[in-house]
Structure 1
Amino acid sequence: MALSLYSVNAILILAKDDASRILAKYYDAPHKPSGTKDRSYPGANPYPTVEGQKNFEKKLHEQTASQADKCDIILYDNRLVVFKQCQDVICYVVGDASENEILLYSVVLALRDSLFQVLKTPPDKRTIFEHFDMVALAVDEIVDDGIILETDPRAIAARVSPPPVADFSAKNIDLSEQGLVNGWKFARSFIGKSLAQQFG
């Protein structure tokens, strides 16, 4: 198979107990090679329909749920799949059978570790649903259109996490009428003293 930037076919987060879909992103190369009639070109989404995706996810879960704590790589449906269990969810990264398994493994580790840093706790179903926006952003920071962009969990978490809140805030400022009058008196007094020192 020709070398391609489009290394990842899908990133999945499924519930460990019933294979329900928590997050599923399937990637398709944005530019189909000319003269290609089937979906065998590099980066093609092998499961273009939702029905095909859910069928793949269910059967993949059956193959991996019982061995998620023993191994973390399989060849299934002519796809190389690496996975990691976290609490009550399993994170999967799916690539072509000829893809480099170490490269895909670095992606699944980046996903798991960045979610741990972003969520401040080991990722579980409830926490992922509560912070789904940040989880989806983390996935987008790792892979875009099947191209691996980043595998450093700290860099991913830094881009996804909300910026730190400044120490000062307006909550201690009195915006009532009396507060504004007091502020005006203070400013007038301060300006008066400054002018007296300069010209006095």
Structure 2
Amino acid sequence: GQGYAMSATIVAEPNVSSIVIIDSQGERIAARYFTDDLKTLHAQQQFEKSLLSKALKCSSQSESDILLFDGHIAVFREGKDVYLFVTGDQNENEIILVEVLNALYNAYASLLPGGSLDRHTMLEKLDIVLLALDEIVDNGGILEIEPSPIVHRGGMRGAGAAP
């Protein structure tokens, strides 16, 4: 039937469940949820708190770390006093999630003043933070993981151009 091609495509495409940026106290800076399992703000906040507590237990010094819990896979990187998380279903390919995470991290390092991934700068430049996020992932589908087009578009819009 007609729905076949569409469902076959969706299954094959990697999907991001959420992108979460929180500070070291667990306070949200920005977040995008693309699945229905965490609809309420309360559920999202609980999820963000458990992401942070798991991240704090991972004290490895590697660029990105991988967490598995509650049917989710989460990859994260630490900024100065912020954490960037990209999550997917537990069956998602973590390498793809890490690529999304690194694209986001590198875009912020290029777009934010002084390349600083810290709470104050990210809240002050929230428009850029959200823009880069939306350039990479749309409704859970990965749009772009090469940093230069993201930085280019983010820089153009960040320079006073109308959205």
Same fold (TM over 0.5): yes
Deviation, 1:69, is 4.1
Q: Which of 135, 138, 146 matches 2:132?
A: 138
The CA distance in 2 between the partners of 1:163 and 1:24, in whole Å, is 20
Say if 1:68 and 1:83, in contact at 8 Å, map to a contact too: no
Listed as ranges, the matches of 1:112-131 within 5 Å are 112-119=105-112, 120-131=114-125
- Which of 1 and 2 has greater Rg? 1
Cα displacement string for residues 102-151 of structure 1 (whole angstroms, at most 9, x for unaligned residues): 00000000010000101141311111011110110000000000000001
1:109 aligns with 2:109: no
| Equivalent pairs, count | 147
Give aligned-pair identity as a percent: 36
Comparing 119-128 with 67-76, greater Cα deviation is found at 67-76
RMSD: 1.9
Say if 2:14 and 2:92, in contact at 8 Å, map to a contact too: no
For 1:143, the aligned partner's letter is V
Q: Which of 141, 147, 157 matches 2:141?
A: 147
Structure 1 regions of 5+ residues with no counterpart?
28-43, 166-200
Listed as ranges, the matches of 1:1-200 within 5 Å are 3-5=11-13, 7-16=15-24, 18-27=25-34, 44-67=35-58, 69-70=60-61, 72-119=65-112, 120-162=114-156
The CA distance in 2 between the partners of 1:85 and 1:126, in whole Å, is 15
Which consecutive segments of 4 or more residues in structure 1 shift more than 4 A? none
The CA distance in 2 between the partners of 1:164 and 1:134, in whole Å, is 6
Say if 1:69 and 1:85, in contact at 8 Å, map to a contact too: no
Say if 1:10 and 1:26, in contact at 8 Å, map to a contact too: yes
Deviation, 1:70, is 3.7
The CA distance in 1 between the partners of 2:86 and 2:116, in whole Å, is 18
Bigger fraction of residues in helix: 2
